[in-house]
Structure 1
Amino acid sequence: MTDTPLPLIIDCDPGIDDAVMLMMAFLSPHLDVQAITTVAGNVPLAFTSRNARMICERMNRTNIPVHAGCPRPMVRKMVTAEDFHGESGIAGMDVFEPEVPLAPGHAVDVLIEKLSAPPEGGYTVILSGPMTNLAAALIMAPQIAQGIRELVVMGGADTAGGNITPSAEFNIYADPLAAAIVFDAGLPTVVLALDATHQVRAEQVRVDRIRALPGRHAELMADLLDAANRLELRWRPGMQVPMHDPSTVGWVLAPHLFETKRCRVSVVTRPGKDFGRTKVKDSARGPHRWVTVADADGFFALVEDLLKAPA
């Protein structure tokens, strides 16, 4: 990566794995996180907005504004995932009320404002939850697409099958219409679907190596990963938790750890058994890059390097 930090906007729904993702982004000197926007997803909006600010405070990054966004999907009834993230949405961390309040401005308005006046080269935007905020922004101001250098999405599934229905991944299922709007916009997009994230799991030996590192950041990350594994084992005995959302920052910092194929992604929005399914059509000229292979050892080596770096 270049010496100039990459301008980054993170739209998320913390969530344990979102918390690990945010920690990685904050620890890297190569990333300039300019705004965090939150959406209802893993837990309701009030909790995702609080949890994002909790992470900022624990990481001494309260200078980064957190803007609350859409409290529900565009059309469908809201679904959440407390069973996988704990009632607070962030098992593994003691809940507290952050000192710094939410930043003023709705997340959709903030996305429009920032993407309408991007830095040279545009913003990299990470979407690690339902895509409601960006979809609404694209409807209101379609010209903001020009301000996005690259969109990095955690969502979808193809060969891996779904994690909330047999064919649908949670982030897409939570707001399929929003996902369809974003994918149909034709933005340069990297998609880290379950096909890739299931290859990167927090095996205990990897968590133990993180816990053995000095410093409070390593302790917090190990606490989060252990909590995530305990929740995962309740539902999938013998399986360690996949690094869904953290893989997005992994891609931004170290794309050489991943293999992709060019394609065009669409979303099933009609009711039925395939509701929320992502369909992947190979296309040499497609705007989307579907991650097919992820290097788990390389990913966790990256995490350890971030934790070892001077604070």
Structure 2
Amino acid sequence: MRKRQIIIDCDPGLDDAVALLTAFAASDTLDVIGITTVAGNVPGDLTARNARIIRELAGAGKDVPVCKGAPVPMLRDAVTAEDFHGSTGLGNIDFPKPRIPASRQHAVNFLVKTLRATKGFPATLVITGPMTNIALASVMAPDITRGIKEIVLMGGADSEGGNITPHAEFNVFADPHAAHAVFNIGVPVRVLNLDVTHQIRTSDQQVERVRALGSRQAIAAADLLAASNRLEVAAKARVAPLHDPSTIIALLRPDLFDGRKARVSVVTEEGDRFGKTVPEYREDGHVLWYDKADADDVFSEMLGQLGKYR
């Protein structure tokens, strides 16, 4: 069976880094054909650098290009999240400097060129950061939707409220205009939002199970998860949700999640609700809004994938 081609659009970020490690570990099922980065958790220079660090840690080379993308949101002022990811974006963990350079191709140009080339075998977009790159690519070349099988993204919230404001989740709040465009891009979308990711929390004991796998990649994943917990406990007195890795687990094991069909809009008017996602639940919706997960099995699947590193 042919592997599923995926492009990961991300802003590493502690949990983005674990998502990348999990995706590369699942190379028997997933073919990562590119990584595009965007400013978000930390500024754009750092997110691109962090993606290169994780690419090399996972054992991938320049055949998986890292393409640096939008340095600022489409319309709003830039926001970052160093309080939850450390000043480097990777929890200030001392990783080796990346040796393989980033691609010279801009992320938006890479998306347009690659998705036009995948029309015969559409690729899946996995989005774990602000959605600026995808929105810009879809405006620049609307025909790229024919090269997209589906979008699986981490973003938004409904019943849980927000994590950056009372109403808004960070990835959407960081560029709500882009998020509104992506939610309505015209392809199937699956959403790992706070309603579901807040159900999936990795305890310190589970982190040590990852560490016990023993490979340098698993140890790094454990360090990243532990840093997430430390920062989350300091800010909110609870261990961290497994936000971004849930997108990869949803690709591998969609049976571990349940949700409702919806159409989703985003509040782009200034005010208290700025950046809020508004799902309208309806049977003809093209968005699958997840609201339930088997948390233990999600962790077990991630553990199993990370266990493939030797």
Q: TM-score, normalised by structure 1?
A: 0.97
Q: Distance in 2 between matches of 1:192 and 1:98?
A: 30
Query: How many pairs are equivalent?
Result: 308
Q: Distance in 1 between matches of 2:169 and 2:309?
A: 37
1:225 aligns with 2:209: no
Correspondence for 1:98: 98
Q: Distance in 2 between matches of 1:296 and 1:131?
A: 26
1:74 aligns with 2:70: no
1:244 aligns with 2:233: no
1:16 aligns with 2:14: yes
Q: By how many angstroms is 1:243 displaced?
A: 0.7
Correspondence for 1:140: 140
**Cα-to-partner distance string for 1:5-32 (whole Å, 9 max, x where unaligned):** 1100000000000000000000002100
* 179-188 vs 123-132, greater mean Cα deviation: 179-188
Q: Distance in 2 between matches of 1:264 and 1:287?
A: 6
Q: Which runs of 5+ in 2 are unaligned?
A: none
Q: Distance in 2 between matches of 1:187 and 1:268?
A: 21
Q: By how many angstroms is 1:187 displaced?
A: 1.7
The structure-2 alpha-carbon separation of the partners of 1:142 and 1:265, relative to structure 1 and needing over 3 Å to count, comes to: same
Correspondence for 1:208: 208
Correspondence for 1:165: 165
Q: Distance in 2 between matches of 1:186 and 1:274?
A: 25
Q: Distance in 2 between matches of 1:95 and 1:298?
A: 30
Q: By how many angstroms is 1:120 displaced?
A: 3.4
Moved over 6 A (4+): none
Q: By how many angstroms is 1:309 displaced?
A: 2.3
Are the counterparts in 2 of residues 92 and 224 from structure 1 also a CA contact under 8 Å?
A: no
Q: By how many angstroms is 1:119 displaced?
A: 5.6
Correspondence for 1:281: 280
Q: By how many angstroms is 1:307 displaced?
A: 2.3
Q: By how many angstroms is 1:217 displaced?
A: 1.8
Q: By how many angstroms is 1:308 displaced?
A: 2.2
Letter in 2 for 1:309: K
The structure-2 alpha-carbon separation of the partners of 1:310 and 1:182, relative to structure 1 and needing over 3 Å to count, comes to: closer
Correspondence for 2:152: 152
Partner SS for 1:248: helix
1:53 aligns with 2:52: yes
Q: Sequence identity, in percent?
A: 49
Are the counterparts in 1 of residues 48 and 67 from structure 2 also a CA contact under 8 Å?
A: yes
1:191 aligns with 2:205: no
Are the counterparts in 2 of residues 129 and 171 from structure 1 also a CA contact under 8 Å?
A: yes
Partner SS for 2:32: strand
Letter in 2 for 1:18: D
Are the counterparts in 1 of residues 112 and 137 from structure 2 also a CA contact under 8 Å?
A: yes
**Cα-to-partner distance string for 1:271-290 (whole Å, 9 max, x where unaligned):** 01100000010110111000
Partner SS for 1:48: helix
Q: Which runs of 5+ in 1 are unaligned?
A: none
1:307 aligns with 2:299: no
Correspondence for 2:253: 254
Q: Distance in 2 between matches of 1:21 and 1:310?
A: 14
**Cα-to-partner distance string for 1:94-129 (whole Å, 9 max, x where unaligned):** 144311111121000000001111063300100100
* 1:117-136 correspondence runs (5 A): 117-118=117-118, 120-136=120-136
Q: Distance in 1 between matches of 2:205 and 2:295?
A: 13
Q: TM-score, normalised by structure 2?
A: 0.97
Q: Which of 20, 26, 31 pairs up with 2:24?
A: 26
